[in-house]
Structure 1
Amino acid sequence: MAEPHPGTSCLLSDIETLCTVAHKRAEESDHNRALCPDVAEQLLESGFARYFVPAAHGGSQGSFRELAHALCVTSQACASAAWCGLIYATSGRMTAFLPEAGRTAVWRAGADRPIAAALAPAGVATPVDGGWRVSGEWGFLSGVDHSDWALVCVPGPVDTPGDPWFMALPRRDFAIRDTWFPVGMRGTGSNTLVAHDAFVPAGHAYRHEELVTASGAGPDAACFRVPLQAVAGLPFAALVVGIARGALDHWSSWAASRPVRNSESARLLMARSAAETDAAWLLVERAAQVADDVVQARRHAARNARDAAYAADLAKGVVNRLFEAAGSAAQHQRSPLQRAWRDIHAAASHATLRFDRHGTEFARSAWADDTALRQDIRDDGGRT
């Protein structure tokens, strides 16, 4: 087993190098529909894959605050690189819920194992002696071309119907189909994983519910004890806000060198965009601070999900206005602003950032809590 990493994190020490490489390769990764190999390698060097790996397996057991900051900074250089770093980090956290035998198998050669995870149930798992035989296809697995393992989600196996299961597959047990032809986030290489009759030992799987509720016999570190609702959208929102910051920096530099800088409308656009980007980041920062406190994360899980979704909406609005204001200059295929516009629409459409869903759930939860509080006051004779 690899020795635990000496610090609690190793992201920020290499983030400048990562951003330099990712920015240099951003256009090429976008064109190739996959990260350039040197960018994928630098993600590992920067510590994304080991970020949420348990310390017992050589990982960092990092904080959500530092991850959010690293994703925001990296996405200003290349949103696709940040997205794959996000997937490596959060997939490591998901993998940590495996039984000890599964965790040992995945991280036997060290904590820097890039893992791609599929959240949507697909395929079929057939029980056999010692585990399951798994077959199927799982789409939209970001970074899968560079991954050593995959964590796929399958409907409840036939002997245990109901809650889906996550099952770990080593690289030798799956193939990849080139199916990623999107408008935005093109460099993520989110292709389709194909497995045929792959054997998954019993110790390499766990119930989906254990991830959602942070229950089960997983590691005790705080990052594994918070409910999924409190943290699912947070890293994606940090990345989306980073795209907006990068777009604002690009537009502002462009405008500052032209006569448009003297117009009131341009100045107001710059001021409003900066204010809304800052406001979005403040929401992300608060959500990250809550996520690092298990008690608060359980109490404010619905608010965290709401805040992540709203921060993404604010950031997307900023990029929309900047793109429109830039006119035909932003339409060129080599313009960073048009890539930011494409990327932010793709990134903000992720299920974890849909405000209608999370806003509705927040209101339901808030009103339920308010009703319970009023009942407690009545039961206590008004003394609460």
Structure 2
Amino acid sequence: MSAGATAFNRLSSVDLAAPGRKSPVAGAPELSKILASASELVPMLRERAQATEEARRVSEATTQAFHQAGFFKLMQPARYGGYEYGFTAFIDVVSELARGCTSSAWGCSLGAIHQWLVATFPEQAQDDVWRDDPSAIVCGSYAPATVAEKVDGGYLVQGKWLFASNVDNSQWALLGVHFPPEEKGAAPTAGFLLAPRSDWTVEDNWFVAGQAGTGSKAVVLDKPTFIPAHRKLSFAEASSNQPPGSTVNRNPIYRIPFLSAVPVCLVSPILGTAQGAVDELIRLAGHRVTRGAVAGGGNRLAEFFPVQSRLAEASASVDAARLLLYRDTAQVEQMAADGLPISIEQRIRNRRDHAFTARLSRDAVDAVFACVGGAGLSLDQPIQRMWRDANAISRHISLNWDAVSSMVGQYLLGLEPKGQY
């Protein structure tokens, strides 16, 4: 029964022939091999999950295992040893890892997706990051936290950037800033700058109830620091159908606008967590015997109707979430492969479904957690950690249903959509 129930939610992960599941790089490992490596790591990640939470970071050992499996090469350009797979392959791998440990999968997710994002920067910036160390990975804090001062050849930047996930294992940081107006009377613009580890320090301020193991601490530039102009990418460039790096990296995945697909790095961990919760409830219900407060004692958890019903609900929610996410992502990849621009309608629909996938996944974990009773509150019971992690992810500003859904409603009603798409 366990294998069959789990298979319900895995059918959709293999039935979409998307361009992103194929690597154009000669000698790149088959996706099936990379995914098998992810599956093999799940037991280890599950075993280390509580220690990861207590350490408030992903360990060096786990990060090294991700490097050895090639996960950070998944979307990296071939010029630096990468495989140039797309976002659908990314979802496959990261959601599988999250079955074992949400925080570890989140760290891998951000590290791997930033390889794609750096590939949309100008060529010289990519060389700065990877020429001497092709294995370098990048943490990031997207919100513009300060105003960059324009100087000869680049910018001076100082400030603090919060929520830089996996910062302890990263060699570079992607920093959100406001850029001064290019012309008199124009408004400031926003975007990213890349800074090496030698430029910044880490402020250990990550003490949270969920996603504690992500190590999402602050990056600090405590004095004005020069960053050359070629390490700049504006939000407008990132959101275009032709960012600077796409002229160097010919693969069409690097022409996909930033917000049309990048939020899958936030959604894939919660999707995999929901699947992990379903798996754990199936395992737990098969052998746990409830004591019962007044009645019902001595029966297996699997024999209770509410458990059966909530398991069905959770399973359906995970499957629906997968189908939405894969459908949208595969379509965007195909449009990019066909040289078609990603329309505003497509972008807003994708943003809706990123947030709704997160909501469905959180609801699935909520349904599972409702079944486990008082014993499920124990810190060594993984479902309570999955519940805290899933609820933390669903509150990320990019997945906040109130913010995203209002933007979608505005668009559907013919109003100017107010939000990021």
Tell me the TM-score normalised to structure 2 length.
Answer: 0.81
Of 80, 93, 98 in structure 2, the residue corresponding to residue 70 of structure 1 is: 93
Matched, 1:128 2:128: no
Give the Å deviation of 1:230: 1.8
- Structure-1 separation of matches of 2:396 and 2:49: 21
Bigger drift between 183-192 and 95-104 goes to: 95-104
Q: Is the 8 A contact 2:121 2:233 kept in 1?
A: yes
**Higher helix proportion (structure 1 or 2):** 1
Of 187, 203, 208 in structure 2, the residue corresponding to residue 182 of structure 1 is: 208
Q: Secondary structure at the match of 1:218?
A: helix
Q: Is the 8 A contact 1:114 1:148 kept in 2?
A: yes
Of 342, 346, 349 in structure 2, the residue corresponding to residue 300 of structure 1 is: 346
The equivalent residue for 1:166 is 192
Q: Is the 8 A contact 1:79 1:343 kept in 2?
A: yes
Q: Deviations over 1:190-235 (max 9, x none)?
A: 0000012222112111212111224332223222212223213323
Q: Secondary structure at the match of 2:174?
A: strand
Matched, 1:7 2:28: yes
Tell me the TM-score normalised to structure 1 length.
Answer: 0.89
- Structure-2 separation of matches of 1:128 and 1:12: 46
- Structure-2 separation of matches of 1:5 and 1:105: 25
Bigger drift between 144-153 and 205-214 goes to: 205-214
Percent of counterpart pairs with the same letter? 27
Matched, 1:266 2:266: no
Matched, 1:142 2:162: no
- Structure-2 separation of matches of 1:97 and 1:355: 28
Of 22, 46, 50 in structure 1, the residue corresponding to residue 45 of structure 2 is: 22
Matched, 1:338 2:338: no
- Structure-2 separation of matches of 1:9 and 1:364: 42
Q: Secondary structure at the match of 1:155?
A: strand
Of 272, 282, 288 in structure 2, the residue corresponding to residue 252 of structure 1 is: 282
The equivalent residue for 2:317 is 276
Bigger drift between 255-264 and 134-143 goes to: 255-264
Residues 21 and 150 from structure 1, CA distance in 2 versus in 1: closer, same or farther, beyond 3 angstroms? same
Residues 206 and 362 from structure 1, CA distance in 2 versus in 1: closer, same or farther, beyond 3 angstroms? same
Of 215, 232, 239 in structure 2, the residue corresponding to residue 205 of structure 1 is: 232
Give the Å deviation of 1:175: 0.4
- Structure-2 separation of matches of 1:290 and 1:154: 31
- Structure-1 separation of matches of 2:405 and 2:29: 33
Residues 176 and 18 from structure 1, CA distance in 2 versus in 1: closer, same or farther, beyond 3 angstroms? same
- Structure-2 separation of matches of 1:224 and 1:368: 31
The equivalent residue for 1:373 is none
Matched, 1:155 2:178: yes
- Structure-2 separation of matches of 1:123 and 1:366: 34
Residues 269 and 16 from structure 1, CA distance in 2 versus in 1: closer, same or farther, beyond 3 angstroms? closer
The equivalent residue for 2:398 is 352
- Structure-2 separation of matches of 1:348 and 1:301: 20
Q: Which runs of 5+ in 2 are unaligned?
A: 1-24, 290-299, 416-421
Q: Secondary structure at the match of 2:202?
A: strand
Q: Is the 8 A contact 2:77 2:119 kept in 1?
A: yes
Of 119, 129, 134 in structure 2, the residue corresponding to residue 106 of structure 1 is: 129
Give the Å deviation of 1:110: 4.1
Q: Is the 8 A contact 1:68 1:288 kept in 2?
A: no
Q: Is the 8 A contact 1:312 1:348 kept in 2?
A: yes
> What letter is aligned with 2:174?
L
The equivalent residue for 2:140 is 117
- Structure-2 separation of matches of 1:260 and 1:296: 51
Q: Secondary structure at the match of 1:268?
A: helix
